[in-house]
Amino acid sequence: MTSAVPSTFAAFLCFLFLTASVSGAAGQEELGKQPTATAEPEKKITEIKIGYLRAYAPRLTLSLLDVPPRDEGVAGANVAIGDNNTTGKFINQKFSLDVTEIKPESDAVQAFGDLIAKGDRYVIADLSAKQLLSIADIARDKGVLIFNIGATDDSLREEDCRINVFHIAPTRSMLADALAQYLMVKKWPNWVLLYGSHEQDHLYADALRRAATRFGGQIVAEKEFKDTGTARRTDTGATQIQQQISVFTQDLPEHDVVLVADESEVFGTYVPYRTWTPRLVAGTAGLVASSWHPASEQWGGIQMQSRFLRTTGRRMLSKDMSAWTAVRAVGEATTRTNGDDPKKISDYIRSDDFSVAAFKGQKLTFRKWNLQLRQPILLGDTKSVVSTSPQQGYLHQVSELDTLGIDQPETKCVLK
């Protein structure tokens, strides 16, 4: 009897062991049969391809400090692409930039066609007015939007305006009006106008004349500085032009300011400090009106400047800011419309709902009548921003920014 107890106990332990083994094996078998977790389907990424078409060639300037960097404009666009992608990753959008260069006098049609073939439906254009017009209608027929960052010609916003061309660069009339407002606020109303002999010089001179009439300035004398083809980069050439300035400005009537219209870079840089009588200089030299300034730090500008410097290794110029603004306008519109349809993008940009922030103290919008970007204009010298126009006291029934440039009642634009 006593010997049966251990046998029974041993049998019981054996039973428990076998049960545990079977249960464990069954559990492992069931575990092996469990379905593997299915991976979530990849979210579709909308790729938004932006083209950048620029007319480029090394350009002579009177000062080595004014030689444009090789990536002028392109650097601003690339920084904006990064900004767009920072937001785009949250809504499954990816932005890219295709850059194509042509010569300043080359035909732009083939290069533009190549960008379209790559799938670019938004094109940043740093071209002459002639080149821009050569592709505008082709772009319209292909459903492509163009953002002009290079040509300041008023005609592109007036008689030659197009419904698919948005203008980021300010016009010559906007720049001239910004300067004229400041001079009138300072009570310096009497001006002498010195202008170059090239077409772009004449166009800016025309804008300054218009600004004088519009804001009450008086151009008391005008003189044209003829480009005689002097080798500007040689010591003798530079010295010759500098010596001419004093004599060139000798017999002028009494005036407050010398206005210079020298977009072609022949003589303007040499006017300050070399006039016959001591006078302030403004226009394309001295006090210059521009859409951006490398020293601008108001309204968050210091953050933009620091980020641009960190990314590119240099200071941000006006064309960089224009390109940045153009790419950001596309990014803002695609975000708000949640898509990549140029027709919807165009409609949204032209609507009352659109605006883009560009570190200028207020949100920027496009004028509906000619698709020009409203924007403050900075007035600065080589070191700092002196003032910003519109100046205080210049009022408008819609936007004070519309006191700069051609207003809606004056426009000749019929969008088509």
- Please give the full DSSP string across 190-255, using - where no structure is assigned: EEEEEEESSHHHHHHHHHHHHHHHHHT-EEEEEEEE------TTSHHHHHHHHHHHHHHTTTPPS-
Please, what's the b/e burial string for 79-89 (b: 16 or more CB within 10 A of its CB; e: otherwise)?
Answer: bbbebbeeebe
- pLDDT tens, 134-179? 999 999 999 999 999 999 999 999 999 999 999 999 999 999 999 9
Please determine, for residue 30, whether its predicted confidence score (pLDDT) is greater than 60: no
Q: What is the pLDDT of residue 41?
A: 59
Q: What is the pLDDT of residue 339?
A: 85
State which fold the 46-170+292-375 domain adopts: Rossmann fold (3.40.50)
**Residue 76 DSSP label:** H
State what percent of residues in the chain have pLDDT above 90: 83
pTM of the complete model: 0.88
Partner residues linked to 385 by β-bridges: 380
CA 131/CA 110 separation, integer angstroms: 11
Per the CB < 8 A criterion, the answer to whether 46 and 92 are in contact is: yes
Please determine, for residue 338, whether its predicted confidence score (pLDDT) is greater than 90: no
- pLDDT tens, 36-62? 555 555 678 999 999 999 999 998 888
Q: How confident is the model at residue 15 (pLDDT cuts 50, 70, 90)?
A: very low
Q: Using alpha carbons, select from 132, 127, 131 the residue that is nearest to residue 150.
A: 127
Per-residue tokens: 25: 């094996």
Q: What is the pLDDT of residue 228?
A: 84
- pLDDT tens, 345-377? 999 999 999 999 999 999 999 999 999 999 999
Q: What is the pLDDT of residue 234?
A: 58
CA 196/CA 207 separation, integer angstroms: 14
Mean pLDDT of 247-263: 97
Which region among 67-76, 215-224, 230-239, 405-414 has the lowest average model confidence (pLDDT)? Answer: 230-239
Cα dist from 335 to 82, 168, 344, 379, whole Å: 14, 20, 12, 33
State what percent of residues in the chain have pLDDT above 70: 88
Element containing residue 97 per DSSP (H, E): strand 93-102
Q: What is the pLDDT of residue 233?
A: 53
Please determine, for residue 21, whether its predicted confidence score (pLDDT) is greater than 70: no
Cα dist from 183 to 277, 287, 361, 399, whole Å: 19, 10, 22, 21
- pLDDT tens, 170-223? 999 999 999 999 999 999 999 999 999 999 999 999 999 999 999 999 999 999
Please determine, for residue 16, whether its predicted confidence score (pLDDT) is greater than 60: no
188 burial level (CB within 10 Å; 0-12, 13-18, 19+): middle
Q: What is the pLDDT of residue 31?
A: 41
Q: Using alpha carbons, select from 275, 273, 286, 219 the residue that is nearest to residue 246.
A: 275
Please determine, for residue 249, whether its predicted confidence score (pLDDT) is greater than 70: yes
Is domain 174-290 in CATH 3.90.1150.10, yes or no? no
**Which residue ranges make up each domain of the chain?**
46-170+292-375, 174-290
Q: Using alpha carbons, select from 320, 366, 392, 332 the residue that is nearest to residue 76.
A: 320
Q: What is the pLDDT of residue 8?
A: 45
- Phi, psi dihedral angles at 184 (to 5 degrees): -75, -35
Q: What is the pLDDT of residue 44?
A: 86
- 3-state SS assignment for residue 187: coil
- pLDDT tens, 217-248? 999 999 999 998 765 555 555 667 888 999 99
Identity of the amino acid at 89: K
CA 282/CA 258 separation, integer angstroms: 6
Mean pLDDT of 67-96: 96
Partner residues linked to 221 by β-bridges: 192
DSSP calls for 246-302: HHHTTTPPS-SEEEEE-TT-SSGGG-TTTSSS--EEEESSSEEEES--TT--TTTHH
